[in-house]
């Protein structure tokens, strides 16, 4: 019996050690992949024999990188260039948080190899504003409160900008009713906006406000803001009969 227990404990220890070693290697490899020239905390460097020189143009500035061919555009932006606006939500092409523009078209940077972007113009959320002047889409997101935690917002905004270009170019979506219509530019209804933005997930559920923001920029017509800061609508809240009842005003 004791022998059996010892064997079992030995087996458990072996499994734990194997998992720890695998995790260590994974961490080391991830570090090596994204930081080939930086030393690890133990002083080891990862200048891989397979590293290649890549020149990217990001937000109008040239960036020369030495990276392994398997490094994604997202990791190159965040870990090598230091542009952390694009977010890593799922790293599997399912959430849209990493969306950036490459030559004006939206791409999921977590599924795009950085080496394939040589010679292109990459635009991230950091490159949209002109000094203190926000891009119209950024301003509309602020006006319509198109975010809560903001994690998905850089990807949402880049996607939204691309959606407007796609509509202008007459590119049909799954819900476009007449793909032969003339003039070719697609009018973005709310259904069109929702369908075209469906690859960008917002766990905070800011969807109605995101749609309002995109609608405003697309139509170039001011849309009514549907939210107010606390306090601005205090009177309105206390005008609600139920609230009056609760505060005893109705009886007075």
Residues at the contact surface with ligand FES, assessed by CB under 6 A: 88-91, 93-98, 108, 110, 147-153, 202-204, 206
Q: Which is nearer to ligand FES, 31 or 151 (CB)?
A: 151
Minimal distance, residue 180 CB to ligand FES, in Å:
32
Could you give the angle at the alpha carbon of 90 between the alpha carbons of 99 and 120, nearest 5°?
30
Least distance from ligand FES to the Cβ atom of residue 6, Å: 46
User: CA torsion sign, 22 to 26 to 28 to 32?
Assistant: positive
Shortest distance (Å) from residue 134 CB to ligand FES: 17
Element (H, E) at 169: none
Q: At its nearest, how many Å lie between ligand FES and the CB of residue 118?
A: 21
Q: Which residue number, 153 or 176, has a Cβ lying nearer to ligand FES?
A: 153
- The radius of gyration of the chain's CA atoms, rounded to the nearest angstrom, is 25
CB of 154 to ligand FES, least distance (A): 10
Bridge partners of residue 63, in order along the sequence: 56
Residue 53's DSSP bridge partners are 66
Pairing relation of β-strands 52-58 and 121-123? parallel
Nearer Cβ to ligand FES (88/194):
88
Element (H, E) at 213: helix 207-219
Measured CA angle at 60 (ends 55, 66), to 5 deg: 20
CB nearer to ligand FES: give 89 or 170.
89
State the DSSP code for 95.
S
The residue among 123 and 152 lying less far from ligand FES, judged by its C-beta, is 152
């Amino acid at each position: 019996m004791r022998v059996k227990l010892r064997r079992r404990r030995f087996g458990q220890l072996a499994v734990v050690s194997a998992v720890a070693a695998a995790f260590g290697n994974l961490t080391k490899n991830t570090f090596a992949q994204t930081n080939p020239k930086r030393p690890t905390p133990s002083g080891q460097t990862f200048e891989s024999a397979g590293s290649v020189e890549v020149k990217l143009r990001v937000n109008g500035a040239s960036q020369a990188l030495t990276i392994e061919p398997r490094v994604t555009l997202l990791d190159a932006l965040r870990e090598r260039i230091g542009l952390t606006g694009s977010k890593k939500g799922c790293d599997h092409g399912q959430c849209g948080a990493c969306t950036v523009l490459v030559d004006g078209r939206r791409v999921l940077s977590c599924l795009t190899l950085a080496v394939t972007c040589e010679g292109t113009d990459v635009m991230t959320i950091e490159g949209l504003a002109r000094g203190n002047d926000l891009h119209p889409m950024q301003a509309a997101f602020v006006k319509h409160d198109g975010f809560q935690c903001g994690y998905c917002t850089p990807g949402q905004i880049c996607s939204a900008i691309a959606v407007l270009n796609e509509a202008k170019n007459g590119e049909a979506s799954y819900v476009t009713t007449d793909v032969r219509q003339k003039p070719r530019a697609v009018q973005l209804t709310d259904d069109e906006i929702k369908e075209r933005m469906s690859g960008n997930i917002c766990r905070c559920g800011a969807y109605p406000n995101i749609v309002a923001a995109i609608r405003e920029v697309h139509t170039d017509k001011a849309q009514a803001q549907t939210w107010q800061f606390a306090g601005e609508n205090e009177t309105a809240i206390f005008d609600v009969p139920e609230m009056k009842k609760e505060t005893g005003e109705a009886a007075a």
